[in-house]
Amino acid sequence: MSHAPSEQELIRREALNKLRALGIDPFPAAEFPVSHSVKQVKEQFHEVAAHAEGHQPAADVVLAGRLMSVRIMGKASFAVLRDATGDQQIYINRDEIAPGEDKTLYNEVFKKLLHLGDFIGVKGFMFRTQTGELTLHVKEITVLSKALRPLPVVKTDDQGNVHDALTDPEQRYRMRYVDLVVNPGVKETFLKRTRIFNAMRASFQDAGYLEVDTPVLQPIPGGAAARPFATHHNALDVPFFLRIANELYLKRLIVGGFDGVFEFSRNFRNEGMDRTHNPEFTIMELYVAYKDYRWMMDFIEGVFKKVATAANGSPTAQFQGKAIDFGQPFKRITMCGAIQEKTGVDVLNADERTIGELCKQHGIEITAAMGKGKLIDELFSVLVQPHLVQPTFVMDFPLEMSPLCKKHRDDDRLTERFELYVAGFEVGNAYSELNDPIDQRERFEEQLKLMERGDDEAMFIDQDFLRALEYGMPPTSGIGIGMDRLVMLLTDNPAIQEVLLFPQMRPEKFE
């Protein structure tokens, strides 16, 4: 992509040169001594009264930020300065910032050489205008950084049409640094994202669980059924994979003696992209010894209530016009029972051929690589999942679908597993963890057979993990929570790209 400078960019570059000619460094290196944020100014000076022009209280206020608007009225001007906490109106009088005969600072610098988007520092005192607006009366101006490209400025014509706004999703994701400046709601999404992570982390720490870090580069892409990104370790001269999950490493730590561990893990899956999938995503995984999946359902209900309240002040969230209530007990259904309710067929007792025919009846494409578990999963995804709006635990998955999960205590054709669904998509996946190393080896071998049939998402055999289990792992419950999807729900964003600061995109070509 080539870029010919626009007229506005040429004007800004000319202004840059003129600033330097006046002896003003447009990119100074020295620290600028900010005394307040905009938020602190509004809190500290909210009771300040109106002052006559020229009257200066003793308290100095020093702010720094981006120039967002300017209204020049002869020798006086009003402008809006924006920092990380908000917008603040400032007032500049030519005779006060440029005393005596030297009017250069105002006439040349402020009126002609500064533009919207520039960073400036200002020093002065707070007062209220005749309209009652809290304003900084500027005594000194410092140029801190010259912006060489203009920000998109939203304009509305007489017919109500909006022009120049940054609204194209692809452009917004590529230029998130501009998106954050000109679209006010975007920044709030990421502030909420941090509150969501912090609230969940605090819930686990309060319960006594330890936050840990596990490898991103792994010799075997284990812990999930997914296609990995492959790379090569030059020093060891062996292939490595970006992790698709951190599950097997966290369970090694349970073997090692920790009673509860969790990790906010950046995972990578070399698969498709849509509104709920991104190749790079964040998942939280928690493992607690001496617990089972029933305990985990109760525990996670409480965690989600706390997290939703931390994000929005209430356990109820609005998502795409629907009120999602995280404050009530979550509904609990079984996977096969839900499919039978929709189709009249007991898929648990049906053979693979019958389930395949049922898939075809409902317009689901099947392949020879799809085993019984995969077929049931497709039926559930099409017939049941879209209708799960309120938080719902879907329990008791068929054995073929869960190679790392303990067999159900009442029916060995099932596993003690649940997935949490909200607004039609999966948010969490949990097990009573399989801790029988002999059973685990057999499950891995079944996955190997699926891989030989052409299933490129089947799990690899992790011999070291099997060795770890042979040293003994206590009964354990584990859960993985898709943090990006949870943030989508709690910020009312319909696409995962909206809650990732820099989602993956096809690279631009620069000349």
CA-closest candidate to residue 286, choices 314, 255, 246: 246
Residues 227-266 have pLDDT tens digits of: 899 999 999 999 999 999 999 999 999 999 999 999 999 9
Sign of CA dihedral 143, 145, 146, 152: negative
- Evaluate whether residue 233 is within a structural domain: yes
Q: Say yes or no: 294 and 408 in one domain.
A: yes
Residue 306: pLDDT band (50, 70, 90) is very high
Residue 501: pLDDT band (50, 70, 90) is very high
Where a domain ends, among 114, 145, 176? 145
Structure tokens at 499: 């809650």
- Evaluate whether residue 427 is within a structural domain: yes
The answer to whether 262 and 287 are in contact (CB under 8 A) is yes
Q: Say yes or no: 90 and 218 in one domain.
A: no
How far apart CA 276 and CA 271 sit, in angstroms, is 12
- Evaluate whether residue 367 is within a structural domain: no
What is the CATH classification number for the domain harbouring 128? 2.40.50.140
What is the CATH classification number for the domain harbouring 487? 3.30.930.10
Burial class (CB in 10 A: 0-12, 13-18, 19+), 180: middle
Q: Say yes or no: 317 and 402 in one domain.
A: yes
Q: What is the mean pLDDT of residues 41-65?
A: 77
DSSP state of 141: E
The answer to whether 292 and 477 are in contact (CB under 8 A) is yes
Where a domain ends, among 145, 161, 180? 145
Q: What is the mean pLDDT of residues 143-166?
A: 75
Residue 52: pLDDT band (50, 70, 90) is very low
CA-closest candidate to residue 322, choices 372, 390, 255, 261: 390
Residues 337-350 have pLDDT tens digits of: 999 999 999 999 99
Q: What is the pLDDT of residue 200?
A: 98
Q: Say yes or no: 323 and 469 in one domain.
A: yes
Structure tokens at 75: 């020798």
Amino acid at 202: A
Question: Is it the case that residue 328 has pLDDT exceeding 90?
Answer: yes
Burial class (CB in 10 A: 0-12, 13-18, 19+), 286: buried
- Evaluate whether residue 82 is within a structural domain: yes
How far apart CA 72 and CA 447 sit, in angstroms, is 71
Chain mean pLDDT for the chain: 91
Q: Say yes or no: 204 and 283 in one domain.
A: yes
- Evaluate whether residue 168 is within a structural domain: no
> Per mean pLDDT, which range of 89-103, 136-150, 276-290, 337-351 is the poorest?
89-103
Enclosing H/E stretch for 253: helix 247-255
Question: Is it the case that residue 106 has pLDDT exceeding 90?
Answer: no
- Evaluate whether residue 474 is within a structural domain: yes
Residues 185-210 have pLDDT tens digits of: 999 999 999 999 999 999 999 999 99
Helix axis angle for 352-361 and 372-383, nearest 10°, is 30
How far apart CA 295 and CA 293 sit, in angstroms, is 5
Q: Say yes or no: 314 and 445 in one domain.
A: yes
Q: What is the pLDDT of residue 102?
A: 64
Residues 113-154 have pLDDT tens digits of: 999 999 999 999 999 998 999 999 999 999 999 999 999 876
Residue-number span of the structural domain to which 484 is assigned: 198-330+390-497
CA-closest candidate to residue 361, choices 342, 335, 388, 333: 342
Residues 388-417 have pLDDT tens digits of: 999 999 999 998 888 889 999 999 999 999
Q: Say yes or no: 301 and 397 in one domain.
A: yes
How far apart CA 457 and CA 25 sit, in angstroms, is 57
Q: Say yes or no: 132 and 208 in one domain.
A: no
Per the structure, how many domains does the chain have? Answer: 2
Q: Say yes or no: 119 and 221 in one domain.
A: no
CA-closest candidate to residue 324, choices 421, 389, 392, 275: 389
Structure tokens at 252: 């090694």
Question: Is it the case that residue 313 has pLDDT exceeding 60?
Answer: yes
pTM given for the model: 0.89
Question: Is it the case that residue 51 has pLDDT exceeding 80?
Answer: no
Q: Say yes or no: 435 and 289 in one domain.
A: yes
Q: Say yes or no: 129 and 203 in one domain.
A: no
CA-closest candidate to residue 412, choices 465, 348, 358: 348
Percent over 90 (pLDDT), the chain = 74
Structure tokens at 442: 């057999």
Torsion of CA 137, 140, 144, 147, to 10 degrees: 60
Give the three-state DSSP class for 319.
strand
Q: Among all chains, which residue has been given the structure tokens 């009264």?
A: 49
Amino acid at 321: G
The answer to whether 456 and 271 are in contact (CB under 8 A) is no
Where a domain ends, among 129, 145, 161? 145
Q: Say yes or no: 228 and 121 in one domain.
A: no
* Rg, Å, the chain Cα set: 29
Amino acid at 480: G
Structure tokens at 419: 């997935």
- Evaluate whether residue 19 is within a structural domain: yes
Q: What is the mean pLDDT of residues 85-111?
A: 81
For the residues of 337-350, what is the DSSP string, one character each?
HHHHHHHS--TTTS
Of residues 491 and 508, more confidence is placed in 491
Q: What is the mean pLDDT of residues 170-184?
A: 93
- Evaluate whether residue 511 is within a structural domain: no
